[in-house]
Amino acid sequence: MKIPIDIKTGSVKKETETKDIIVGIDLGTTNSLVAIIEDGIPSVIKDESGSEVLMPSVLFFNDDGKIITGLEAKKQLIDHPARTIKSVKRLMGKSYADVKDFTTGTAYEIIDSGTDQLVKIKMDDNFYTPVELSAEILKSLKSRAEKYIGSKISRAVITVPAYFNDTQRQATRDAGKLAGLDVLRIINEPTAASLAYGIGLNMDQNEIVAVYDLGGGTFDISVLHIENGIFEVLSTQGDTDLGGDDIDNDILQHWVSKNKGLSEKIVDFSLYGKLLFMAEEAKIHLSHHDLYAATLTIDFQLTLTKAEFYIICKKWVDKTIKACESAIRDAKISVKDIHKVILVGGSTRNPYVKQRLTEFFGMTPHDEMNPDEAVALGAAIQADILAGNRKDMLLLDVAPLSLGIETVGGLMDVIIPRNSKIPHKAGRQYTTSVDGQKNLKISVFQGERDLVVNNRKLGEFILKDIPPMPAGLPKIDIHFLIDADGILTVKAKELRSDTEARIEINASFGISEEKMAEMLLDSIQHAKEDADQKALIESTVEAQNVLLATDKFLIQNQDIMTETESEKIRELKSLVENAIEQKNKNLIESGLKNLNDFAAPIAQRSMDSLISFSLKGKSLENTSDQKS
């Protein structure tokens, strides 16, 4: 089979595909949307009923273990909060340490492995990663679009907040792949919103634009400079814990303080949930009316006036304006340098928000589009550009396949994602997995599969003479640079000792376009099995680290433990060992959780500061043969 590949976009052109449609997806914290270009006009795709544009980013696990997404899932928040997951985007690419502060309010269980490992969510006996959960949302959007278009969709552009780091962006790509989508590009939400307003489509434009995005649970303001169709983020500020949800909560509190006896009533979880729904309803109602009045139960008639509502909003909007001030400062401009202000996010429908922003920026912000649709529409425009449908737009050279290195367990760690514009540089830090490790082998691969065996090896080199240190302590910076001719330079440097090594590779040498296309297709077709294998390897590696740490722990804390306690730890340890042997991911995870739960209080009791119950950071494959 000969598969043509589009080198500019790095995408596969399947000959069987009748319509060459690439969708644009806004994978939001609260709501997600999918959009396409139809007859040259961007439009969002509605659900099957033909009424809803937004798909709540909510997942519900029913008793049969089936995952339900969207509006149906959102409704379950009232009666089954512990089986319903919202705002999974907050967890993308995050370790438990990162999310500690905002997980107190969630009814579902987030697993604290006590390490730098990425978070997982426990539901029944299964452990899910945020990537898997986001993939479910993407699958629903994909199928919504397929039903509408009447043919399969395989390619997408997905948006992320401007402040998303490399790991969070990669997690979003992985979610797309798992949903069966070839993610052609990840673009910033404010960039997408600007595109939706036609900004950046004209090559002669030179403008500074402020994009104010107030969603359900997050706020961000980005200042962009757009010149010759190139978007540069001058600054971005925000609060990942500020949004429409806070206003809902305050409305609820307002009612509780105004209505005697209500606070005792709402200890009932489902009544509380209902009240919260009404608070959101009141907020939305007051965008167009002056009074909200409704019945909670026969005892409680609730009202909210516009004046009361604005008082509630003030405190939150004040905060966002402070952030705007500092974004402008960071961008080293002043308010009057801004040419346009764009409103994004459902919460900017609130007239109070518009009023305050008009005052602050000294101009009327753009709100001609639905603020909750602008990002998805812009993603669709970007998709259309990539599809080559806009002949006037210039396409930049890109890296056609991802470039990365092998980490412990034979996993591919992508450093330069496919479709990155070239020249491009990127880097990440790693550490060792064995005490006293002196040499480190760095193997460089190209491809989209999760296991390096399925990718193409470009070369390897050894970082020699690292001074002996305990595992996990060395800081090894690995830096990739791909120049305009496709020449890749990989540098490795141990930062504590300044030890350094490098390699230069011609990344496009000896690979045909057909082969690249085949590799891409394979990665989509094997996405599920790859992800499962990867998850098993990651759990196994983590478990092996914990087992090693447990052995040290048992020795170091002999004196402060009773015989029963150490016996129990050994028993829990052997359960983990069995689970590893059985290659059962969920069993490993629950074994680790039990071991951790049991050992944590003992660790607290011990004065020994050496207890790091597991190794920190991603480590590279141990090259025991290289040790000297």
Measured CA to CA, the distance from residue 293 to residue 388 in angstroms comes to 52
Neighbours of 402 (CB within 10 A): 25
Q: Which letter does DSSP use for residue 12 in this model?
A: E
Measured CA to CA, the distance from residue 375 to residue 214 in angstroms comes to 12
Question: CA 365, 367, 369: angle at the middle one, nearest 5?
Answer: 150
Shortest distance, CB of residue 619 to ligand ADP, whole angstroms?
Answer: 35
Determine which one of 112, 136, 174, 189 is catalytic.
189
With respect to ligand ADP, which residue has the nearer C-beta, 352 or 445? 352
Neighbours of 604 (CB within 10 A): 9
Tallying the residues shown for the chain, one arrives at 628
Which residue is associated with the tokens 């005792």? 264
With respect to ligand ADP, which residue has the nearer C-beta, 350 or 619? 350
Number of H helices, E strands in the chain: 15, 28
The torsion defined by the Cα of 156, 157, 163 and 166, in degrees rounded to 10, comes to 60
Measured CA to CA, the distance from residue 286 to residue 292 in angstroms comes to 7
Mark residues 2-31: x for contact with Mg ion by CB under 5 A, - for none. --------------------------x---
Shortest distance, CB of residue 119 to ligand ADP, whole angstroms?
Answer: 19
Burial of 125 (0-12, 13-18, 19+ CB in 10 A): exposed
Q: Known catalytic residue: 26?
A: yes
Determine which one of 174, 213, 373, 538 is catalytic.
213
With respect to Mg ion, which residue has the nearer C-beta, 117 or 194? 194
- Work out what residue 346 binds among ligand ADP, Mg ion, none; the CB cut-off runs from 5 to 8 Å by kind: ligand ADP
- Work out what residue 532 binds among ligand ADP, Mg ion, none; the CB cut-off runs from 5 to 8 Å by kind: none
Determine which one of 74, 86, 89, 94 is catalytic.
89
Return the SS3 of 160: strand
- Work out what residue 74 binds among Mg ion, ligand ADP, none; the CB cut-off runs from 5 to 8 Å by kind: none
With respect to ligand ADP, which residue has the nearer C-beta, 175 or 405? 175
- Work out what residue 245 binds among Mg ion, ligand ADP, none; the CB cut-off runs from 5 to 8 Å by kind: ligand ADP
- Work out what residue 218 binds among ligand ADP, Mg ion, none; the CB cut-off runs from 5 to 8 Å by kind: ligand ADP
- Work out what residue 190 binds among ligand ADP, Mg ion, none; the CB cut-off runs from 5 to 8 Å by kind: none
Shortest distance, CB of residue 310 to ligand ADP, whole angstroms?
Answer: 12
Measured CA to CA, the distance from residue 259 to residue 272 in angstroms comes to 14
Shortest distance, CB of residue 346 to ligand ADP, whole angstroms?
Answer: 2
Measured CA to CA, the distance from residue 310 to residue 6 in angstroms comes to 52
With respect to ligand ADP, which residue has the nearer C-beta, 74 or 142? 74
With respect to Mg ion, which residue has the nearer C-beta, 28 or 70? 28
Q: Which residue is nearest to Mg ion (CB)?
A: 28
Measured CA to CA, the distance from residue 390 to residue 381 in angstroms comes to 9
SS3 for 439-480 is: CEEEEEEECCCCEHHHCEEEEEEEECCCCCCCCCCCCEEEEE
Q: Known catalytic residue: 89?
A: yes
Using only C-alpha atoms, the chain has a radius of gyration, in whole angstroms, of: 26
Closest CA relative to residue 479, chosen from 490, 466, 487, 488: 490
533 phi/psi in degrees, rounded to 5: -60, -45
With respect to Mg ion, which residue has the nearer C-beta, 219 or 360? 219
Please tell me whether residue 215 binds Mg ion under the rule CB under 5 A. yes
Q: Which letter does DSSP use for residue 531 in this model?
A: H
Return the SS3 of 424: strand
With respect to ligand ADP, which residue has the nearer C-beta, 149 or 284? 284
Q: Known catalytic residue: 213?
A: yes
Shortest distance, CB of residue 94 to Mg ion, whole angstroms?
Answer: 18
Question: Six-digit token pair at 438?
Answer: 């002196």
With respect to Mg ion, which residue has the nearer C-beta, 319 or 428? 319
Inter-CA distances, 90 with 31, 96, 176, 502, Å:
13, 12, 17, 36
- Work out what residue 472 binds among Mg ion, ligand ADP, none; the CB cut-off runs from 5 to 8 Å by kind: none
Determine which one of 26, 245, 450, 530 is catalytic.
26
With respect to ligand ADP, which residue has the nearer C-beta, 62 or 355? 355
32-66 burial, b if ≥16 CB within 10 A, otherwise e? Answer: bbbbbbeeeebbbbbbeeeeebbbbbbbbbeeeee
Measured CA to CA, the distance from residue 84 to residue 388 in angstroms comes to 40
Site for Mg ion in 307-336 (CB under 5 A): none
Report strand pairing: 403-407 vs 411-416: antiparallel
- In one-letter notation, the amino acid at residue 324 is C
Whether the CB-CB separation of 436 and 465 falls below 8 Å is answered with: no
Query: Which of these segments, 101-109, 214-222, 311-319, 405-413, binds Mg ion (CB under 5 A)?
Result: 214-222
Shortest distance, CB of residue 175 to ligand ADP, whole angstroms?
Answer: 15
- Work out what residue 217 binds among ligand ADP, Mg ion, none; the CB cut-off runs from 5 to 8 Å by kind: ligand ADP
Positions in the binding site for ligand ADP (CB under 6 A): 28-31, 54, 215-218, 243-245, 280, 283-284, 287, 345-347, 349-350, 372
Shortest distance, CB of residue 159 to Mg ion, whole angstroms?
Answer: 8
Shortest distance, CB of residue 56 to ligand ADP, whole angstroms?
Answer: 9
Shortest distance, CB of residue 28 to Mg ion, whole angstroms?
Answer: 4
- Work out what residue 590 binds among ligand ADP, Mg ion, none; the CB cut-off runs from 5 to 8 Å by kind: none
Phi-psi region of 297 (alpha: psi -120 to 50; beta: other; left: phi over 0): beta
Burial of 86 (0-12, 13-18, 19+ CB in 10 A): buried
- Work out what residue 550 binds among ligand ADP, Mg ion, none; the CB cut-off runs from 5 to 8 Å by kind: none
Q: Known catalytic residue: 460?
A: no
Shortest distance, CB of residue 217 to ligand ADP, whole angstroms?
Answer: 6
Binding residues vs Mg ion (CB under 5 A) = 28, 215
- Catalytic residue list: 26, 89, 189, 213
